[in-house]
Amino acid sequence: MASLPPVQASPSASGSYRTFSGKRPSTNLGADEENRRKDPKISRACDTCKRKKIRCDGILPCSTCVKRKLNCAYDAKYGRGRPPTPPPSTTINERQERPRSDSANDLSIWQPPAPVAHEVSTSQVHSHASPEIEIEGQYFDPTSGLNFLHRAWKKLLIQKDESASYDPNDTERNQLLTSAGDPPFHIDDSASDSFIPDVPTARRLQEFYFETCVVTYRMFHRQTVEGWMEIFLKDRELQRPIAQSLGNSRTAILLTIMAIATLRLEKLNGEMSTADESLVLQRSDHLFCAGLRLTDMEMGFPRLESAQARLIQVLYLLQTARMNKGWYTFGNAFHITLSLGMHRRRDEKRDFPFTSRRQNYITSECYKRTFWAAYIIDKYLSVVFGRPRLYQDDDIDQSFPDNVNDEDMTPQGPSISDDPADCYIDALIFHAKIARIIGKVSREVYSVSDLSNQDRLAAAHRSARELHEWRASLPPHLGTVKPSTLIPSFRRQAIALQLAYSHALIHTNRPFLLTEAASENVIECISATKASLELINRMAGDSTLLHSFWWTHYVIFCALAVVYVWEIQRTTRPTDEIDNQSLGKIFDLAEKCHGHLKRGSTGLSQNRRYSVILDELRSEAQRCRILRGNPPYPHQGGRPSGETNANTHITFPFLQDTDLFGTAGSVQEEIMPNMLDSFLFSDWQTLDSSAIFPFPDPNSVSPTCFPEFP
């Protein structure tokens, strides 16, 4: 076999060339080569590493199996003579602790028989073919399960397409820490308050907010807010200071309500150009920023409205892709809810906090509604950002709000004797319940603790049972009744909970796509993915639905990632758990939803990042389809715009590298199956947060520091 070609070095930001081959560069290359010659040669890999064609250190148990908590065995047939006995891991550990200058004749150093001269192991090939790269002091291995993310980040850093909303420029980067990376606000520095709508428009925006914009986050009492609006408009008529009568937090709530309604009202007209969306954002940002200034200047002790104002600001920020600002603003709201004791139950014997007067029924119910709305946001922020949850269930004993509609509430209590048949608060309660299960999944299945796969699998099964019980307990108008037959407000609630249910099942079961003994979880994950894609595809035809939930595009991202990961995994793990016809339909749905995500990326930066990241993962899945003899694209329509059809000849330049592996087919067989070999449970959370990852400063990182992946 021809000798391996040397690894090509890439120029760094300074113009010099740096090469990484599994280790940091050494200034003494001669000594480094000598040390590598003294390293023991591994001629036998464990059964797992051999089957997956990944590097093995030849000990028992090997480091790969220990890391992935797998059974390590050497039972496979050995065809090169007498099989060497793998030494226990302690022997190797002792060897590694000894100085490298030890004599090669020292019998305490285990040296298995050298491999046959004409054979080159897969692990050796990858060691030479995949040098590490360095980005701002961080080293990345392109052969890891996240190498497609590195390629996507490279594209995001160097793209110059003016139509892309995420262009890493000075405007986005040079902001306050709490907003760095977010799209900047579209405002000017003028002190004029002409951006505040006139009386009819303000009332119309308020009505639109309560009728259309609110789905499950029902933390306000509508009639109370309408009273605030009349006071606000009266002050405007008399030319009084904007917050003179209502105070800062209540006025900020009204301004943010109008900002959200302004933004959403324009989206009812369908897709907007980047210029049109910029004009709409300018109007809504003016209202929002005026409210933000009021909460920033709020004086005195916190009140219920202090928490409500910041929570509704979080919702606006999330809907406009100001994810980092939303994260920090939510942290402020979180602390206010704790300071007010909103996480604790109240009863006749205990009125907490002690600084408050005895509250009326409406205020008491709004405390509960506000807390549980914050709780839901917290659980979803944790999965979207891949970060820990702020609210801890062990510290919470707050009860759910009563099933009473706003119009049936009085300061003394409900005005009706029986619970209403179809209550708008049901959706808030059931969303909070499923959010609690999602939090439990994140805590137990994705735990950073040293848990075995069996423990994680058992936790997933418990959570799946809870999700099924949750689904069965839904009231008819949120569960069994066909959403299209419901009035618009209930239809949005029913669809929101259906989407939350499908996402929760995906979140629970997706880590087991890459295991070998969890067919039940695989089937449930793929089924939930199909259900979510079907639902999203239907939502795409109704602008009032697609833009109703700030986390819709995240769910699309999760579902598409599952489709592509499973397509890749099928190359190394052929199964009959899902028939090919069903998988073909799912892939077709994925193509359509990928197109919906691309079309929804004009003004939302994290959606653009989602799309670019999925493009990379999707290309891996397409190569796997070719490997199995399938066309790279499904035969049906629905492809994202600008892409070739199924009949177009597609080439992958790296498949033509025959010097390294001998044939293009062997390149595919060696590279593609190994893409997810090192994918860990925690990598799913990295994937979740990849669109919000703090990108390096492009001015300090040369694009050539990234590997030239195809």
User: What's the gap between Cα 99 and its chain centre?
Assistant: 44
By C-alpha distance, which of 450, 347, 386, 374 is closest to 146? Answer: 386
Rounded-to-integer distance, Cα 366 and Cα 303, Å:
12
pLDDT tens for each residue of 218-264: 999 999 999 999 999 999 999 999 999 999 999 999 999 999 999 98
User: Mean pLDDT: which of 48-57, 64-73, 484-493, 618-627 is highest?
Assistant: 484-493
The band of 429, judged by pLDDT with boundaries at 50, 70 and 90, is: very high
Could you give the CA distance from residue 419 to residue 344 in angstroms, rounded to a whole number?
A: 24
Query: Is residue 140 pLDDT above 60, yes or no?
Result: no
Could you read off the pLDDT of 33-64 as tens digits, one per residue?
555 455 566 778 888 888 777 888 888 888 88
CB-based burial of residue 212 (10 Å sphere; 0-12 exposed, 13-18 middle, 19+ buried)?
middle
What pLDDT score does 110 carry?
32
- 3-state SS class at 461: helix
Backbone angles phi, psi at 347, to 5 degrees: -145, -175
Dihedral angle over CA of 532, 536, 496, 467, nearest 10: 0
pLDDT above 70 for 674: no
Q: What average pLDDT does this structure show over 363-367? A: 95
Check whether 443 has a pLDDT greater than 90.
yes
pLDDT band at 107 (very low <50, low <70, confident <90, very high): very low
Q: Which residue's entry shows tokens 């491999």? A: 115
Tokens of 197: 């709508």
Residues 637 and 621: their CA atoms lie apart, in Å, by 18
Q: Which two tokens stand for residue 707?
A: 């590997």
Give the integer Cα–Cα distance in Å for 66 and 63: 5
Band (93; pLDDT cuts 50, 70, 90):
very low
Cβ atoms 467, 523 nearer than 8 A: no
Tens of pLDDT, residue by residue over 496-529, are 999 999 999 999 999 988 877 678 898 999 999 9
- Mean pLDDT computed over 433-454: 92
pLDDT at 482 over 80: yes
Using pLDDT thresholds of 50, 70 and 90, give the confidence band for residue 295: very high
Bridge partners (DSSP) of residue 135 are 138
662 pLDDT band, cuts 50/70/90, is very low
Give the global pTM: 0.74
| pLDDT bucket at 658, cuts 50 / 70 / 90 | very low
Length of the chain: 710
Among residues of the chain, what percentage have pLDDT more than 90? 39
Band the pLDDT of 595: cuts 50, 70, 90: confident
Q: Hey, what are 10's tokens? A: 């890439």
What's the whole-number mean pLDDT along residues 125-130? Answer: 34
Predicted confidence at residue 252, as pLDDT, reads 97
Residue 452 CA to residue 144 CA, distance in Å, equals 21
- 132 with 20: CB under 8 angstroms? yes
Mean pLDDT in the chain?
75
- Phi/psi-derived region of residue 696, left when phi > 0, alpha when psi is between -120 and 50, beta in every other case: beta
Among 51, 67, 133, 152, CA closest to 561 = 152
